[in-house]
Chain A
């Protein structure tokens, strides 16, 4: 899809999400917050998973650490927004340090290592009870003004984060960094020999993939007012984020946003009707996605579909 068209569609989508309080119910507003939040996570994952092609499953670790860093900062008396900043920096630094180590792994070993990180961080958080409250979780002060006003505040926060991540994606897409990351995805050894500083590029991509997960996590914990290890480090989130990105189109600018929107919509429809089967539905979506949409929704040739539909409606005679 043409890049300019992707930017326009994104702008339209931002307007649609940000304007929900003016035309939709509180339920839709909260849904918009969740969509913007997941879009930020998916756009973040896209740096390492889409551009560089590294199968990272550590998003939940960054999100969860962001939750706890923000919550602990806030509980120690740091103002809310500043606490989000602390969480962002903490998670970014964590990912940069970790990236230097774990990005030496490739393929399955990298994937498993990144899952291992989620587990280790979760177990550390849940067993360090004196600091984190362990399995009991942590409470945070709730914002005043009632649920409607609070949802609007967090809508602005999450949509802003989504825009910032999108702008960084656009920058990376057009810069030397994006080119280098695509080279790494194609053939890492060849990229290395051709003079791409693969270690630096991978660490940057990995850090970018974590940075705003930290902010989102911290903002999420302020929004819900309560966090615990099972909720913050969920293995389902670990998989959902890459799946959303694959659904839209990995390595593209708009793909992650489209994938998140499509997935959330599907989930809401099924969630309402088949509450017991939401995991199975996620699984089925994955199977269908991999079999029938290998490049994601953005890779489909819509002009082709339009032509085919037109021929269908005109009838077989016109088609012949």
Chain B
């Protein structure tokens, strides 16, 4: 293949990678702060996508208008779930927390398949495409990328500048000390899980504009979140961004050279390789095993 083709693949990968960053950032935050692998994440993305699709299909609401509403709704859902259910097991062993979130995922997944069926659905915006120096860029993907980057950037600013963001970082570093400083740790956990759900739901809105939404994808998106977190490291916005773009580019090239059906395999193999090479965890932070 010529250089132009490689450049096109690279650009596709970066566009995809930006979406992956916003897919993984909430998952990474929850894992980093609560020390919980949130098996619900994939279903929350799809739920966001379905709400967007049906708002658009049944009521003609534009996805860009649906985005803030879905985000708020998902935040509330995440906050309540954490407060009522997950807070009760937050300090239990991995097996318990993972099994519990998987159980919740099964419930949500089941209701989505029954009510929405597994038919792939997609919001078609028909925005057309542009070409920059011979590289084709569809406008809907470009919009998706910009939205994903804006969301991820917003989260970065919130974590850096706001009181809540600083409190989350404090809890992540040392929850016992944070509690002594007067931070209500359980409330911060609920807010963190809420933000995780919010980012998942908002990513779902973006995905609905770019790719078909179906419940069959929940496991695949969850798998991608694992891979991105292992590549980029846990609990930081930058980590998710780096991991997302690396995975996006790798998948894009893997799709080119070994066939698109193997793109995910390549990601998983890379993840296992990284896990084996650096078994202590890639961030090197103690206490987040």
Residues of A with Cβ closer than 8 Å to B? 49, 53, 55, 101-102, 104-113, 115-117, 119-120, 123-124, 127, 235, 239, 242-243, 246, 276-280, 282-287, 290-291, 294
Beyond A120-B265, A283-B107, is A109–B279 a contact (Cβ under 8 Å)?
A: yes
Closest chain B residue to A104, Cβ basis: B279
Bound together, the chains give a CA A269 to CA B202 distance in angstroms of 39
Beyond A108-B289, A279-B109, A283-B104, is A290–B268 a contact (Cβ under 8 Å)?
A: no
Q: Identify which of B271, B276, B281 contacts A101 (C-beta below 8 A).
A: B276
Return chain B residues, CB-CB under 8 Å to A277: 110, 114
Bound together, the chains give a CA A105 to CA B105 distance in angstroms of 25
Is B96 in contact with chain A by the CB < 8 A criterion? Answer: yes
Bound together, the chains give a CA A46 to CA B114 distance in angstroms of 34
Closest chain B residue to A56, Cβ basis: B95
A/B interface sample: 18 pairs, CB < 8 A: A49-B95, A53-B95, A55-B93, A55-B94, A55-B98, A102-B275, A115-B223, A120-B265, A123-B268, A246-B99, A280-B110, A283-B102, A284-B107, A286-B103, A287-B85, A287-B100, A287-B103, A291-B88
What class of interface size applies to chain B in its complex with A?
35 or more
Q: Identify which of A55, A112, A124, A280 contacts B226 (C-beta below 8 A).
A: A112
Is B53 in contact with chain A by the CB < 8 A criterion? Answer: no
Bound together, the chains give a CA A239 to CA B102 distance in angstroms of 8
Return chain A residues, CB-CB under 8 Å to B226: 112, 115-116
Is B176 in contact with chain A by the CB < 8 A criterion? Answer: no
A280 x B269 contact (CB < 8 A): no
In chain B, positions 1-59 with a C-beta closer than 8 Å to chain A are 31, 35, 37
Return chain A residues, CB-CB under 8 Å to B284: none
Return chain B residues, CB-CB under 8 Å to A108: 31, 35, 37, 94, 98, 288-289
Among A102, A283, A285: residue with most chain B CB under 10 A? A283
Return chain A residues, CB-CB under 8 Å to B264: 119, 123
Is B261 in contact with chain A by the CB < 8 A criterion? Answer: yes
Bound together, the chains give a CA A110 to CA B226 distance in angstroms of 12
Bound together, the chains give a CA A63 to CA B279 distance in angstroms of 26
Is B135 in contact with chain A by the CB < 8 A criterion? Answer: no
B265 x A123 contact (CB < 8 A): yes
Return chain A residues, CB-CB under 8 Å to B31: 108
Given contacts A49-B95, A286-B102, A287-B85, 15 further A-B contacts (CB under 8 A): A55-B95, A101-B276, A105-B275, A106-B289, A108-B289, A109-B289, A111-B98, A116-B223, A123-B264, A123-B268, A278-B110, A280-B107, A280-B111, A283-B102, A290-B96
B107 x A290 contact (CB < 8 A): no
Return chain A residues, CB-CB under 8 Å to B261: 127
- Least CB distance, B177 to chain A, in whole angstroms: 22
B106 x A279 contact (CB < 8 A): yes
Bound together, the chains give a CA A239 to CA B95 distance in angstroms of 10
B269 x A120 contact (CB < 8 A): yes
A116 x B272 contact (CB < 8 A): yes
Beyond A53-B93, A246-B99, A287-B104, is A113–B272 a contact (Cβ under 8 Å)?
A: yes
A290 x B100 contact (CB < 8 A): yes
Is B120 in contact with chain A by the CB < 8 A criterion? Answer: no
A102 x B219 contact (CB < 8 A): no
Bound together, the chains give a CA A311 to CA B226 distance in angstroms of 52
Q: Identify which of A102, A123, A235 contacts B276 (C-beta below 8 A).
A: A102
In chain B, positions 89-137 with a C-beta closer than 8 Å to chain A are 89, 93-96, 98-100, 102-107, 109-111, 113-114
Is B262 in contact with chain A by the CB < 8 A criterion? Answer: yes
